[in-house]
Chain A
Amino acid sequence: MSVVVGVPRGLLFHEYGALMLEFLRQCDARTMLSPVTNKQILQAGLEICVDEACLPVKAFFGHVAYLAGKVDALFVPRFVSIERGAFICPKLMGLPDMIRARVPGAPRIVDPCIDLSRGLGTTVRSIAQLGPALCVSRGRVATALARSMRMTFRRAGRRPGDGLERAGIDTIRIGVLGHDYNLNDPYISLDLINKIRRLGAAPVTAGSYSHRETAGWERQRARRGAKRLFWTYGRRLLGVASRWLDTGEVDGVVHLMSFGCGPESFIAEVIQYEASERNCTPLLCINIDEHSAEAGLSTRLEAFIDTVAMRKCEHASHLPTSGQPVDTR
């Protein structure tokens, strides 16, 4: 008899969702995915999560609460590190324990530890131990892991260059910085990407570049004397940001950050500092939390894109931007 495993649609599901679902399918588990974030889900999350956590973590708690009564087990991997010398975020390292402690009536939590900072060994061992929890043998888990990884990576291939190639020379290109789990969730990000599209600009995200490219730009930045970051997603954002500031391949940058996000509070400061030093690319920082309102975002975004458009069509891009970034905090 197969178990029903719930997969919350939040946080790193947006990055590794396909792999997670394929792995569970290969293990003969029936999966149940929570719906796209909506008002009820966020509300449920706010009730059980601590106030100080960031918005995506609160939403994740909502997804867990939605699934809690309906499944036999919850699949919440503990993401510690996905590359050598860098971590994800302390909150994600403690996520399964936070859920165990705070979600009333939570089912069994299946939490393999993903820690690639010390090589593949620990992670593979931790995943192989999932057998009893998923009611399959160890060997079965191992083949499922190998197969699912092969299939997902083959399917993923190279991602298409999103806005850059398609957008014409006159289109305004807006670089959008932010964590994938915020940008890919239209409820959390207040549909930022589509809002930019509707305003006639072409959004470009870090997802338009391969991981190798962004890592290269970040290392290049480090060679100029800056200390390397130790958060994987921070490295990606910083790499893309320094590329955009160096080449000017986008006309403006919008940085969407969640209030209370530890790494982003520092990365945003570094990006703001570098943008104001170069003085060539306008930057808009937007902080979101559960009280953010759609109208507030629309107004700011319209004003920002209007300004960027004027700057571009009047050939005023040689003029310096304001040394201070537009900051909506």
Chain B
Amino acid sequence: MRVTFPHLGNLWIPAKAFLSSLGHDVITPPPTTKRTLSIGASHTPDGACLPLKVTMGNFIEAVELGADTILMAGGIGPCRLGYYCELQRRALARAGCNAQLIVVEPPRSDFRGFANVVRTIKRRATLGHVLEASRLAWAKFQAVDALDQAANMARWREVSPGDVDAYIGRGLALLDAAETCDDVRHVAEQTLHDVEGCIEVTPRQAVHVGVVGEIYVVMEPAVNMDVCKKLGRLGAQVVQPLTFSHWIESHVVCDIARWIPKPDVLSWSRPYLRHFVGGHGVESVGHSVEMARLGLHGVVHLAPMTCMPEIVAQSILPSVSLAEGIPVMSLAVDEHTADVGFDTRLEAFVDLLLANVHENGKTPPYPAACPVST
């Protein structure tokens, strides 16, 4: 059994660690490129949302490398993600790919199916092995998140352009190779230290920009045209509340252990959006409100074209922007989005924010959630 899974940012590092410590032969799909997107788009309906097209491309490219089993997340709606698996199964058959699609449904909707999937993945591993693998994967999740956050906080004040990303890239490669939790912790600390060494210490006026939106587009740099990197290069400190550990806590842990309270985004979004709308619609509105109240200077809202929850959020964000006094820019992404179009818009947005900051001359009291801010 040669297992593969779809890409989502740096998810491949912990996912690969988890599956290979259970003794699976893991095939990581090649990094998402234009080719991935065009293969995916040619096998999926054009009205579908972007994540379906990209993950489809990932699958086909992984099968080309010899994968025969694909792990995919399911769902119970109302977001379209829950029905991806049905379309993908058909598309794989039509593309002539001979691979088995294993769908991980939330245990709350189909417990027996979930148990079957767990049994397939577990194979002959003992409970101790599984716990050990989970611990390693969780450590890697946290380390990957820490590196991403550090990069977002540090990029705008690196001494020579590209240094931060070079260190982060090296750190991620080492993380992938790390085999024990201690190694992971050591690599993360070392990388954070390196990053700290290559940034200016003298404080300079920065704009603080939040990035919100649909989780896939926010977390996959190949799809969002590297929006965080672009913002950083333009002189913005980026705050991105959607991370792997946040997602796992709110969607996996809270789903199984129902007594743990979910992070309460709805209380932030309540004046503007009072009901859950699927996907990350409430998060987009709630986080924007929270960011405005914490004193950030602007928000970039990312959504795949035709994403239903984000259309609701996009409708509401202008009124959040007016009422809370924070500029918000919504950007829709699909397979035709061009890099340069994003450059122009982001440049203009950051310029306006910088002008705004110089005029008012205040820096926001945003609490630094990252070890790099000195």
Contacts and interface: CB of A to CB of B under 8 A. Distances in A.
A265 B45 contact: yes
Contacts of B342: none
Interface string B125-139: 000000000000000
B312 A262 contact: no
B315 A230 contact: no
B56 interface: no
A78 B47 contact: no
A229 B276 CA distance: 19
Interface stretch (B72-80, B253-261, B348-356): B72-80
Contact of B315 (A88, A101, A269, A329): A101
Interface in B75-127: 76-80, 82-83, 85-87, 90, 103
Contacts of A227: 74, 83, 85-86, 103
A91 B48 CA distance: 16
A329 B308 contact: no
A5 interface: no
B315 A53 contact: yes
B275 A90 contact: no
Contacts of A98: 312, 315-316
Contacts of B77: 86-87, 230-231
Nearest to A113: B275
A200 interface: no
Contacts of B315: 49-50, 53, 94, 97-98, 101-102
Contact of B83 (A50, A52, A101, A266): A266
A126 to B, nearest CB: 11
A52 B305 contact: yes
B83 A229 contact: yes
Given A87-B78, A230-B76, A265-B45, A97 B312 contact: yes
B207 to A, nearest CB: 26
B306 interface: yes
Given A52-B306, A90-B277, A93-B278, A270 B86 contact: yes
B107 to A, nearest CB: 15
A21 interface: no
Interface in A258-275: 259-266, 268-270, 273
B39 interface: no
**Which applies to chain A's interface (DSSP): helix, strand, loop or mixed?**
mixed
A90 B83 contact: no
B76 to A, nearest CB: 6
A262 B276 contact: no
Contacts of A80: 275
A308 B317 CA distance: 48
A78 B319 contact: no
Interface in A34-54: 49-50, 52-53
Contacts of B308: 89-91, 262
A146 to B, nearest CB: 25
A97 B273 contact: yes
Contacts of B277: 90-91, 93-94
B306 A260 contact: yes
A295 interface: no
Interface string A215-227: 0000000000011
A262 B312 CA distance: 13
A147 B222 CA distance: 57
Interface string B14-52: 000000000000000000000000000000111111000
A101 B311 contact: no
B240 interface: no
A260 B47 contact: yes
Contact of A89 (B78, B90, B272, B318): B78
A235 to B, nearest CB: 11
Contacts of A226: 86
B307 to A, nearest CB: 8
A269 B314 CA distance: 27
A221 to B, nearest CB: 11
B305 A265 contact: no
Interface of A: 49-50, 52-53, 78, 80, 85-91, 93-94, 96-98, 100-102, 113, 226-227, 229-231, 259-266, 268-270, 273, 287, 329
17 contacts: A50-B314, A53-B315, A78-B275, A90-B277, A93-B312, A97-B273, A97-B312, A227-B74, A229-B83, A230-B83, A262-B80, A263-B80, A265-B48, A265-B80, A265-B306, A266-B80, A268-B47
Interface of B: 44-49, 74, 76-80, 82-83, 85-87, 90, 103, 272-279, 281, 305-309, 311-312, 314-316, 318-319, 332
Given A50-B311, A270-B90, 19 more contacts: A49-B315, A52-B314, A52-B332, A87-B77, A90-B277, A90-B308, A91-B312, A93-B276, A101-B319, A102-B319, A227-B85, A229-B83, A231-B77, A260-B47, A262-B308, A266-B48, A266-B86, A266-B87, A268-B45
